[in-house]
Structure 1
Amino acid sequence: MKKIIGCLITLYFASFPVASEQYPDWRNSVPKPVYKDKNEYVDLYYKAWELAQQKMKVTENLPQSPYMDEALWDDTIWIWDTAFMVLFCKYSPDVCPGVESLNNFYVPLLDKNIEEGTFPLNIQHPDNPPLFAWAEYDNYKFTNDKEHIYHLLNETQYLQKHFDWFDKIEPEWQFKSNASKRKLSAKTALKKHKYGYFWGGTPSGMDNTPRYRDGLWVDAISQQALSALYISRLANDIGDKSQSKLWNEKYNNLKTIINKYYWDEKDGFYYDIDATTLEPLKVKTPASYWPLLAEVSSQEQAKKMVEHLLDPATFGGARPWVTVARDDPSFTTPDGNYWRGGVWLPTAYMATKAIEKYGFHEQADKAAKNLLDHMLRTYKNYSPHTIWEAYSPTRDTPAEHNGERVREDFCGWSALGPISLFIENILGFKEVDAQARVVKWHLHNNFEHGIQKLRFDDTTTDIVFDGKEHIFVKSDQPYTLIVNGKRLSIKANIQQFKVAVVNGEFSVK
C-alpha cells in the first residue's frame, strides 16, 4: 500500500484530466469467476471491469494519480462515488486503485498544507456521505495492511478528522479549487442538530429524493455511527485499546439516539424525523437501511426492516431496492425519475450488506439475483449494450431523469452489481477476512461454479465446486475455508473435498 510522502499543491495546473492508459493485462489480473449455469453473468462481470479500468483518470499534482473516476465530469470527484468504488476495486487493486483514490479527498479536506483554491479537481458536495471508515475497513479485510491503518489512525488521523469535520462543518462552507471555470457549486448543506443532522438530497447523494428537506436525516447520523464503529474496530486491530474504547463510546451514544428517535415501532421502520417534534417523516427509502449496516438495530428490528424488502409494494419484487417505496405518491413510473423510484447500485449494495449482518442471507441473495438479472436483461436487450448509472423500477431499461436517459458506461459504482454482488451473493463468497485468514462460502448451487485467482493478503486461491460431489481448492498459502459452517484447513497445494446433498442442502464431509 502506497503512503503519501508529501503533498505541496500550490500552483494551478491547467491541463484537463485525461483517461489513464488501459491496463494491458487486466483480464488476467482480476479474479476469474466460474458459473456454468448462466455464463452471461460472467460476461457482464468482465464488462464491468473493462469499463471501470477504462474510466480511470490521470491528473498531475494529485496525491493519487491515476485515480478512480465516477464517470460523470472529468474535473470533478465525489466522496460517496469513490468510497463505493473501493468496495469492488478491492478484488483487483492492481487493475483499479480504489482505496488509494481516497487520498484525493483526505489531503485537500483534512490536511493543512494545501493553499485554498489550488487543488486541481473539484470536490463536489464535500459533505457527501461520510463513508471513508467503511471503505477503509472493507478494503483492510482483504489487504491486512496494518501499516496503512496505523498511518490512517495515528500518523494522519484522517478518519477521526473526517468524523469531526462532518460533525462541525459550517453550512455554506465551500471547497475551492482551480479545476474549472464552470464555478460548480460545492457548498455544504449539512447542519448539526442535537439529535442528528439537517441535510439534503444532492449532498446525501440522493439528488431529487422526495424526503423532507427540513428534517433530520436518518442516513447522516447512521453513517456517522458506522464511521465510529469501524474506527473503533480498526484501532483495536492495531492494538490501540484506548482509542478503540473512545470510539466505541461515541458509537454507542449515536446508536442510542438512532433507536430512540428514528425508529417507528408501529411501521417497523427507521424514518427521518421532524427536528422540532421528533415525529417520523414517513417517506420510505433505502436510506433507512443505514442503521442496519451500522449494526444499531436489534434482531427484531432488522426482521421488520427485511419484511419491507419482501413486500413488492415497498422495495421488493423482480426489480428490488427501488429508491422510494412503490406505494409512495412520489414513486414515478415507468422509469423512476432518478431517485424517485430508479434502482441505484450503491443503495442496493448497502442495503444488501446491511440485512446480511443480521443473518438474512437467503433474502439478500434473492434480491441480489433479481437485481443482477435486471441489469443483465437490460444489457442484452437495450441499446447501447452497457452498464447504466441507474435502472428503471418497472421495465428492463435504464432509469430516466426529467425525461432523459441516465448516463451510460457507468462503472463507477454500478460495477458493484456485476462484480461484488455477483461474487458475494450469486457465487456465494460471503466473507473474506485476511486477519483471521478465513474465506466463508455459502455453497448453494448444484452446478459447476466458484472462483479462481481470488486474492487476499499474500494468498491467491481457486475454489470451485464441480457440480457433482467435489470442491477443488488450490492455494499458494494456508488458510481456513468455511463452507456452509464446515471449517476446512487449506494447505499450500491442491486439495479436494467431498460434498453431500441432502434435501437440497449442501454439506462437506
Structure 2
Amino acid sequence: MNNYLLRLQVILYLFIISSCSSVTTTEDQEVRILPPEELYGDLFYEVQTEAVFPDSKTFVDAVPLTEVDLIKEKFKDFEPESDSALYYFVEDNFRIPGSGPAYKTDSSSINTHIKKLWEVLKRPADEERTGTLIPLPEPYIVPGGRFREIYYWDSYFTMLGLLEDGEVETIQNMVDNFSHLLEEYGFIPNGNRTYYLGRSQPPFYAMMVGVLAEAKGEQVYADYLEYLEKEYDFWMSGTGKLSAENNAHRRVVRLPDGEILNRYWDDKNTPRPESFREDVETAREAVAKNPELTKEEVYRNLRAGAESGWDFSSRWLTADANGEFKLSTIHTTAILPVDLNSLLYNLESVIAKAYDIKGNKDGADKFLKRAEQRALAIEKYFWSEKEGYFMDYNFKEGQSTGVLSMAGTYPLFFEIASEQQAEQVTKKIREVFLKPGGLVTTPNHTGQQWDAPNGWAPLQWIGIKGLRNYGQDSLANEIRQRWLHLNERVYKNTFKMMEKYNVEDLSKESGGGEYPTQDGFGWSNGVYRKLAGEEK
C-alpha cells in the first residue's frame, strides 16, 4: 500500500486514540498505563508505517533509554536525511529487542536441552515498568523467539513440562503472576504488554491451578477461589444486559432459547500495535471487497481472533466460491467457539470444586448448575450429527460454521461428550486429522498458521488426553508416538524445539503464518516433556 495513503489513515487513528487517556478492561475499571500508540504518539505511527523493522512487534517491545517525553520532544525536530535515518533515531533512543547475544544450542539430548531451556526462558521478577512491559512480581517463563513476555494460554502447556521436571516453585510463581494480573486489571491479558490490555486468551487459569494442585494438594483450589471467580466475572461481564433484542455484549451471547454462551472479543477496534501495517492492509482489502463493512469491524475481528490464540485460522473466515479462505473475510465476533465454551464449563466446575472444599454447599451447587447448563448448550449448539463432530457456531446466522478443527476435541478433554459422540469424534480424528507427524490443526490449506499443514503442541495434548478420557488409547498412543518422533527428528536436525511443526510433510519443520517460525519454545517443550515422561 502507498505509504502516503497509509499516513493519511493513521492521522485519523491518532486523532481517535488521542481522545482516550486510559485503557478500559472491565465495566468499572480503567488501566492507567499506556499502549505504544498512546505512549509514543507520532513516533509509533511513523516507525510502523515506514516498516523500519520487518516485524511490527520489534518496535513496540523496544525499551526507551530515557524519559519518553524527552524522546518525543527530540522526534518533533527530527528531519530524516536518508532512508535509514529513522532506524538510527530509534537505535539511539531505544534498546532494540533481539540485538543482544542469542542463546546457542548444543548437541545435548532433547530432554537435557529442554531442562537447560527452562533457565534460558525464565525471566526474573520485573522491578519496574519500562516501555510496554507490564511488570510481574514473580519470575516467569516466556515462550521464546519474538515472544519476550509471558503468554496466558501458552503457560498451562509449559507448566506440564515444568511439573515433569520438578519445577514446582516456577509453576507457583506463574500462577501467582496471573493472580496478580487478575487483581490489578480484573482479567488476564493476552501477555504482560500494554498493547494486550484490550483482550485475554483462552481461559486456562483454572487448569493452571489444577497443575499446582497436582503438586501441592487440592486445598490449592480453595486458596485461589477469589481469583477463579475474578476470571469468571471477566468472561461473563455484561450478562445482565442481555435480552432477546440485545443478544450480545462483549464476550457473552444470549441464544434464542435463553442459553448464555461466550465468544472472543477485544475491547478496542483499532489496528493491533504489534501487527499495525498488516492489520491496516487487511482492513483495506476487506472494505474494498465488502463496502458494508467498516475498518473498525475488521480490526475488532482481527483482535478477537488474536484473543482466541488461533491467529489466524479458517475457523474465523468465510470460504469463497472457490473454497478459498481469505483473512479479509474474518468475522470472529459472530462465532461461538466450542473450545472457549468448554474451557468455561471447566472454570465453572473448578469454582464449584473450590467451594466444595471450603464447605460452601450453596456456592458449589450454584456453579455446578451453571456447568450443567453450559454442557447442555454445548451439545445443542456445537454438536453436528451430520459430521459426527463438534464445531463452532455462528450465532448471527444461526448455524454451524461447518469448519472442522481440533477445537472439536475440547468436549472430550473436559469429558462433556457422550460415549457415542466420543466414538464418532475418534473416527473423524483418524480420518481427517491424523497425519504422519501427529494431528493437523484443520484440514484446510489457507496459508494461515492455525491451519494445515501445521500441528501445534497444545492441540496434540488436548487430542491425546481427550481420547484417553473415553478409552480410545490406541489412537491416542499413535498420535503420541508420531508427535514425539517428529519433535525428535527436527531436534536432531536443528537442535531446536519449534513453536509449531509441519505434520503432513516430515521433510519440513513448519509453514505458514503471520511471522517466521519461532524456536524456544515453551509449550512445545512442556508437551514433549509430559508425553515423553510417560515412558518412565
* Superposed pair shares fold, TM > 0.5: yes
- Counterpart in the other structure of 1:408: 519
- Counterpart in the other structure of 2:154: 81
Counterpart Cα distance in 2 of 1:112 and 1:403:
28
Contact 2:175 2:208 in 1 (8 A): no
Look up the SS of the partner of 2:156 in the other structure. Answer: helix
Deviation at 1:203, TM superposition (A): 0.9
**Runs of 5+ unmatched residues, structure 1:** 1-8, 20-39, 171-188, 428-449, 451-509
- Counterpart in the other structure of 2:208: 135
Counterpart Cα distance in 1 of 2:424 and 2:33:
54
Q: Which segment drifts farther, 201-210 or 393-402?
A: 393-402
Q: TM-score, normalising length from structure 1?
A: 0.64
Deviation at 1:233, TM superposition (A): 2.6
Correspondence 1:297-316 to 2 at 5 A:
297-311=417-431, 314-316=432-434
- Are 2:460 and 1:348 equivalent residues in the alignment? yes
- Counterpart in the other structure of 1:55: 121
Deviation at 1:298, TM superposition (A): 0.4
- Counterpart in the other structure of 1:159: 228
**Runs of 5+ unmatched residues, structure 2:** 1-30, 35-62, 66-94, 99-106, 129-134, 240-248, 256-260, 265-303, 317-330
* Paired amino acid for 2:391: Y
Deviation at 1:109, TM superposition (A): 3.4
Contact 1:110 1:162 in 2 (8 A): no
Correspondence 1:264-303 to 2 at 5 A:
264-303=384-423
Counterpart Cα distance in 1 of 2:223 and 2:96:
28
- Are 2:439 and 1:321 equivalent residues in the alignment? yes
- Counterpart in the other structure of 1:198: 263
- Counterpart in the other structure of 1:391: 501
Change in Cα spacing, 1:124 to 1:378, as seen in structure 2 (3 Å) is farther
Can you list the C-alpha shifts for 1:202-249, whole angstroms capped at 9, x where unaligned?
A: 211011101133322112211111111222233334443332222111
- Counterpart in the other structure of 2:88: none
| More strand by percentage | 1
Contact 1:271 1:284 in 2 (8 A): yes
Contact 1:231 1:247 in 2 (8 A): yes
Can you list the C-alpha shifts for 1:20-46, whole angstroms capped at 9, x where unaligned?
A: xxxxxxxxxxxxxxxxxxxx9x93222
Look up the SS of the partner of 1:76 in the other structure. Answer: coil
Change in Cα spacing, 1:263 to 1:343, as seen in structure 2 (3 Å) is same
Counterpart Cα distance in 2 of 1:11 and 1:255:
38
- Counterpart in the other structure of 2:180: 107
Look up the SS of the partner of 2:224 in the other structure. Answer: helix
- Are 2:314 and 1:210 equivalent residues in the alignment? yes
- Counterpart in the other structure of 2:473: 361
Aligned residue pairs, count = 361
Q: TM-score, normalising length from structure 2?
A: 0.61
Counterpart Cα distance in 2 of 1:223 and 1:389:
22
Change in Cα spacing, 1:270 to 1:375, as seen in structure 2 (3 Å) is same
| Percentage identity across paired residues of the two chains | 20
Contact 2:162 2:526 in 1 (8 A): no
* Paired amino acid for 1:194: R
* Paired amino acid for 2:224: L
Look up the SS of the partner of 1:128 in the other structure. Answer: coil
Change in Cα spacing, 1:400 to 1:253, as seen in structure 2 (3 Å) is same
Contact 1:315 1:322 in 2 (8 A): yes
Look up the SS of the partner of 2:503 in the other structure. Answer: coil
Deviation at 1:191, TM superposition (A): 2.8
Can you list the C-alpha shifts for 1:163-212, whole angstroms capped at 9, x where unaligned?
A: 11012179xxxxxxxxxxxxxxxxxx953211423324321101110113
* Paired amino acid for 2:170: P
Deviation at 1:70, TM superposition (A): 1.9
Counterpart Cα distance in 2 of 1:96 and 1:18:
28
- Counterpart in the other structure of 1:98: 171
Change in Cα spacing, 1:87 to 1:126, as seen in structure 2 (3 Å) is farther
Look up the SS of the partner of 2:141 in the other structure. Answer: coil
Change in Cα spacing, 1:46 to 1:394, as seen in structure 2 (3 Å) is same
Counterpart Cα distance in 1 of 2:250 and 2:221:
28
Look up the SS of the partner of 1:401 in the other structure. Answer: coil
Backbone CA RMSD of aligned residues: 3.4
Change in Cα spacing, 1:241 to 1:75, as seen in structure 2 (3 Å) is same
Counterpart Cα distance in 2 of 1:387 and 1:209:
23
- Counterpart in the other structure of 1:25: none
Deviation at 1:57, TM superposition (A): 0.7
Counterpart Cα distance in 2 of 1:217 and 1:47:
36
Change in Cα spacing, 1:235 to 1:352, as seen in structure 2 (3 Å) is farther
* Paired amino acid for 2:441: T
Change in Cα spacing, 1:60 to 1:75, as seen in structure 2 (3 Å) is farther
- Counterpart in the other structure of 1:43: 109
* Paired amino acid for 1:406: T
Deviation at 1:78, TM superposition (A): 1.9
